[in-house]
């Protein structure tokens, strides 16, 4: 099993101590060993998938750099694409496609069955394959020089803070920092620890406590009243946000202590005024990846209007499919694409592109609208099947049902959720380490003490894995 939150907190100090103890020229070896160990703590044999992706893309990059034009480089790019997307398909999508083909055969009375594989989905495979693919594509287009040092390239692919759930970093941003000599910095230590503490709080106190409540309703929604279902839907919006945001903040803080800056993956997405802005603030590394490596190559907005609409829908549908091999994820992505287009048309037709001042009535009204839409779309993300999602909506709007259970929510859960919402408002367009660093020492240490006490006293009693580990 991959490290849980506590295991990671114990693992990190040892890595950081060794990082600053050993000479700079050997640090990449230590970080690479630590990264592979971190991944192998889940399942040893699956580390070979990372090694395979690393070797193929390293060799492809070296060979493409020797060739003068894109045409001659293309076979090596195809090798990289086939290897990485092939591994992703085999482990994540083969059974989904096979099951749907079998269903199609049954409907046409074709007596043949595609055999399905009984394998675990390698944790984080969607993240590290996209990370290494971005390197191969950039080398192919001549935007990136090929890396000749296999060790540093392997470290880029497997750097442990963001290995299993992002952010998806670009080679040009991360690798120069891995090569640079970083001396110990108190500022980096302080800011990194602040981020880790805040990330642990929103994961262990917010997300984990909401998780049990959400699971309770989704397990047997017919037992609960419409108001309880609505509460669970709202709670899930904050659960998935605090869970994924918490991991990203911990990853950023962990790297920062070593002097390495990885990108912010979230910027108060629930304060976005529309779906377009939401995706500029939610899972930023993924949305920018699809922008640069799918949307722009398709022509972006420099094509006919009908083609542009197809480009938008393609990006959102594929983004949904990236998240999981289930029709619910495809529907989830499609809904975002359709609402994006509807908002675009309304905005263009009625000239609603006005920029509202932060926290103004117009901003808050539009943010609430966006939150409601996103919360409803999350139902497909959380549900195991299309029918389960439709049943959830039917129960939500059937207010006259006789129910046999009542959702019991501890007062502490409400209090911490309110605290989280307020903190998100305070952190609009900033980050926790920057925000708290502006205050006097007495206030800072009071806040640290409250966060530490909250983690010790109110952390969820169960070990809930990070939601995005499954992707």
Q: Spell out the per-residue pLDDT of the chain, length 471, in tens.
A: 455 666 676 788 899 999 999 999 999 999 999 999 998 888 888 899 999 999 999 999 999 999 989 999 999 999 999 999 999 999 999 989 888 888 888 888 787 788 888 888 888 899 999 999 999 999 999 999 999 999 999 999 999 999 988 899 999 999 999 999 999 999 999 999 999 999 999 999 999 999 999 999 999 999 999 999 999 999 999 999 999 999 999 999 999 999 999 999 999 999 999 999 999 999 999 999 999 999 999 998 899 999 999 999 999 999 999 999 999 999 999 999 999 999 998 887 776 556 778 778 888 899 999 999 999 999 999 999 999 999 999 999 987 877 777 888 999 999 999 999 999 999 988 999 999 999 999 999 999 999 999 999 988 667 777 877 776
Closest CA to 196 of 241, 257, 239: 257
pLDDT of residue 3: 58
The residue behind tokens 């304060």 is 271
The reported pLDDT for the residue numbered 348 is: 79
By CB neighbour count within 10 A (0-12 exposed, 13-18 middle, 19+ buried), where does 305 fall?
A: exposed
The pLDDT score that the predictor gives to residue 401 is 76
Q: What pLDDT score was predicted for residue 4?
A: 60
Q: What is the pLDDT of residue 405?
A: 77
User: Which one of 24, 149, 283, 323 is the catalytic residue?
Assistant: 323
pLDDT at 297: 93
Is residue 373 within 8 Å of 275, Cβ to Cβ?
A: yes
Would you state the pLDDT for residue 205? 94
Question: What is the DSSP code string of 189-230?
Answer: HHHHHHHHHHHHHIIIIIIHHHHHHHHHHHHSGGGS-HHHHH
Q: How many residues does the chain have?
A: 471
Q: How far apart are CA 189 and CA 54, in angstroms?
A: 31
Q: Determine contact, residues 144/57, Cβ cutoff 8 Å.
A: no
Interatomic CA distance for residues 119 and 124, integer angstroms: 15
Residue 253 has a pLDDT of: 95
The pLDDT value recorded for residue 354 is 67
Distance CA 372, CA 380 (A): 14
Pair 320, 331: CB distance under 8 Å: yes
Q: Rounded CA gap, 304 and 323, in Å?
A: 29
- Alpha carbon 141 to its chain centroid, in Å, reads 27
363 is catalytic: no
Q: Which of 216, 262, 256, 261 is nearest to 236 (CA)?
A: 216
Query: pLDDT value at position 120?
Result: 81
What global pTM score does this model have? 0.93
Distance CA 276, CA 316 (A): 11
Handedness of CA 81, 84, 88, 89 (dihedral sign): positive
**Rounded to whole angstroms, how far apart are CA atoms 455 and 275?**
33
């Amino acid at each position: 099993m991959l490290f849980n939150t506590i295991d990671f907190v114990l693992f990190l100090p040892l890595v950081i101590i060794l990082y600053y103890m050993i000479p700079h020229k050997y640090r990449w070896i230590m970080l690479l060993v630590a990264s592979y160990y971190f991944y192998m703590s889940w399942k040893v044999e699956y580390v070979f998938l990372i090694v395979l992706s690393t070797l193929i893309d390293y060799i492809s990059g070296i060979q493409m750099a020797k060739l003068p034009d894109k045409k001659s480089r293309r076979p090596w790019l195809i090798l990289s694409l086939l290897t990485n997307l092939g591994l992703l398909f085999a482990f994540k999508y083969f059974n989904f496609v096979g099951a749907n083909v079998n269903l199609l055969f049954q409907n046409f009375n074709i007596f043949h069955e595609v055999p399905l594989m009984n394998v675990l989905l390698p944790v984080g495979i969607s993240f590290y394959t996209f990370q290494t693919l971005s390197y191969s594509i950039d080398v192919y287009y001549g935007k990136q020089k090929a890396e000749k040092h296999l060790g540093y390239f392997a470290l880029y692919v497997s750097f442990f803070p963001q290995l299993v759930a992002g952010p998806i970093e670009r080679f040009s941003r991360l690798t120069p920092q891995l090569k640079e000599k970083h001396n110990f910095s108190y500022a980096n230590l302080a800011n990194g620890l602040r981020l880790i503490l805040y990330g642990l709080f929103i994961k262990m106190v917010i997300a984990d406590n909401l998780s049990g409540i959400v699971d309770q309703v989704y397990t047997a929604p017919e037992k609960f009243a419409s108001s309880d279902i609505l509460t669970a839907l709202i709670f899930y919006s904050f659960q998935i946000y605090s869970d994924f945001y918490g991991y990203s903040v911990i990853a950023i803080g962990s790297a920062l202590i070593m002097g390495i800056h990885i990108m912010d993956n979230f910027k108060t997405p629930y304060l976005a005024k529309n779906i377009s802005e939401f995706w500029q603030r939610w899972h930023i590394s993924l949305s920018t990846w699809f922008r640069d490596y799918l949307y722009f190559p398709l022509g972006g907005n420099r094509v006919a209007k009908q083609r542009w609409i197809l480009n938008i829908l393609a990006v959102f549908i594929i983004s949904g499919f990236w998240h999981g091999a289930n029709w619910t994820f495809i529907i989830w992505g499609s809904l975002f694409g359709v609402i994006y287009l509807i908002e675009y048309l309304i905005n263009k037709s009625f000239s609603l592109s006005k920029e509202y001042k932060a926290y103004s009535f117009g901003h808050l009204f539009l943010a609430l609208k966006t939150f409601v839409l996103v919360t409803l779309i999350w139902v497909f993300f959380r549900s195991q099947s299309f029918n389960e999602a439709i049943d959830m909506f039917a129960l939500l709007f059937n207010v006259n049902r006789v129910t046999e259970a009542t959702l019991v929510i501890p007062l502490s859960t409400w209090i911490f959720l309110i605290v989280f919402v307020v903190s998100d408002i305070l952190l609009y367009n900033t980050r926790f380490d920057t925000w708290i660093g502006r205050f006097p020492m007495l206030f800072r240490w009071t806040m640290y003490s409250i966060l530490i006490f909250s983690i010790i006293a109110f952390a969820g009693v169960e070990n809930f894995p990070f939601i995005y580990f499954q992707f």
